[in-house]
Amino acid sequence: MIYVGIVGYGTIGSGVYEVLGTNKDYIAKRAGEEVAVKYICDLRDFPGDPAEKLITHDFNDIVNDPEVKVVVETMGGLHPAYEFVKKALESGKSVCSSNKELVAEYGAELLALAKSKNLNFLFEASVGGGIPIIRPLNQALTSDEIVEIRGILNGTTNYILTKMSKEGESFEEALKGAQDLGYAERNPEADVEGFDPCRKIAILTSLAYGKQVDFEDIHTEGITKISKEDIIYAGAMNAAIKLLGSSRLENGSVYAQVSPIMVDTDHPLYGVNDVYNAIFLRGESLGEVMFYGKGAGKLPTASAVAADVVDAIKHKGTNIITIWDKEKIKLGDFGEMTNTFFVRVPAGEKEKARELFDIRREINAPAIDGEFAFLTSAMKEKDFEEKAAKLNVISRIRTAF
């Protein structure tokens, strides 16, 4: 019997408790041993909850119990999650975490600590919820350099964009609907401003290139400025607007960004709607692969954490090699990154726009007048900014085509 301690009994933590219980037999078979939760550490009490008797307010109960071999960290946030995870690893326990803030900030350090102790620090659920993506990046895509990652990494914003696209709702209407359904927080900033997917693309890029990418260094735009008109134009081009976390190897430099991107019907991310997430990768030899699934939600995310628990047990005494050095990648200067843009300007600036930009295609959308809209050819961000500053740009969205 292997004992587990869970730290943080919120949505994910209680989901992990549920999955480890419901799928007990199945998990015992896969892990090679029976698995049981011995403690749940939370500041709150849960009278009447099936796990009531396992609750402790003192994390030391878990750390000091030599029977506990695996600690599940599902509390979120940086502190005290960081201190708890460090202490657990120092006490000889492997840790499985769903905490993207923690992983983005301290992933390299905690992996090194786990390695030095012949333990494991696993975090499959920190990106893409239930979608297996961390493990494939670390274990399956190891023979070929990843040249591009593009991911729909946030279910809330994908739901909002899907509603805007399919129902013609405005951003505000769709956000309200997402909040009513519990998909969006009352304070939706982390989602709609792109901070959540920013941490996730930082984690994926760190793993793809084996060095630290700081999320603060990633150019990040959210979806708050996307208008009904932008959606109509996208439709006219058989495209959809998605909030993508992207990174790319270009002339030896790694570039990263989070921003709304138009993808057309030929792109596998086009059909990824509602709260679904998907991560699209391109390898030099491998070509394109994509991983798709529920990027959030109690049970999908908890399943991923529980699978980490199984993996930690299977690898008792063996560190699963994960390449993620503390040394920082020097990200390419965002101004040098090459992108293509969809641009709207007032109709009166048509000639000026034609002079300034190498226009690939002019776009007409039904029922939108008084504007001139076009697609640029590929150009550097800084060149775009310079030219766009000479016009009264109504909106501009990058494209993947």
Interface contacts to a second copy, rule CB under 8 A = 15, 18-20, 22-23, 26-27, 29-32, 124, 130-132, 135-136, 139-145, 210, 268, 270-271, 283-294, 297, 299-300, 302-304, 306-307, 309-311, 314, 318, 320-321, 323
Q: Name residue, tokens 């989901």.
A: 15
Q: Considering the complex, state which of residue 98 and residue 220 has its C-beta at the smaller distance from a second copy.
A: 98
DSSP state of 1: -
Q: C-beta of 196: minimal distance to a second copy in Å?
A: 20
Instruction: Give the residues across from 146 on adjacent strands.
Output: 283
Omega within 30 of 0 (cis) for the link into 132: no
| 86 labelled catalytic | no
Question: Alpha helices of 170-213 — where are they, by DSSP H?
Answer: 171-180, 189-192, 195-209
Q: C-beta of 99: minimal distance to a second copy in Å?
A: 18
Which of 295, 266, 263, 264 minimizes the C-alpha distance to 279? 295
Q: Please tell me the distance from the alpha carbon of residue 217 to that of residue 214, in angstroms, as a whole number.
A: 6
Which of these is catalytic: 38, 200, 211, 242? 200
Structure tokens at 169: 């709702």
Q: Please tell me the distance from the alpha carbon of residue 136 to that of residue 118, in angstroms, as a whole number.
A: 21
Q: Considering the complex, state which of residue 286 and residue 379 has its C-beta at the smaller distance from a second copy.
A: 286
Q: Considering the complex, state which of residue 284 and residue 358 has its C-beta at the smaller distance from a second copy.
A: 284
Q: Please tell me the distance from the alpha carbon of residue 146 to that of residue 106, in angstroms, as a whole number.
A: 23
Assign residue 104 a region (left: φ > 0; alpha: ψ between -120 and 50; beta: otherwise): alpha
Q: C-beta of 113: minimal distance to a second copy in Å?
A: 19
DSSP state of 359: E
Q: Considering the complex, state which of residue 132 and residue 177 has its C-beta at the smaller distance from a second copy.
A: 132
Assign residue 317 a region (left: φ > 0; alpha: ψ between -120 and 50; beta: otherwise): left
C-beta separation of 100 from 306 below 8 A? no
Residues in Cβ contact with 152 at an 8 Å cutoff, skipping those fewer than 6 apart? 158, 242, 243, 244, 269, 272, 276, 277, 278, 279, 295
Q: Considering the complex, state which of residue 135 and residue 176 has its C-beta at the smaller distance from a second copy.
A: 135
Q: Please tell me the distance from the alpha carbon of residue 59 to that of residue 233, in angstroms, as a whole number.
A: 54
State the virtual CA torsion across 174, 179, 180, 186 in degrees, nearest 10.
-140
Q: Considering the complex, state which of residue 9 and residue 372 has its C-beta at the smaller distance from a second copy.
A: 9
Q: Considering the complex, state which of residue 143 and residue 187 has its C-beta at the smaller distance from a second copy.
A: 143
Q: C-beta of 366: minimal distance to a second copy in Å?
A: 22
Positions marked active-site: 200
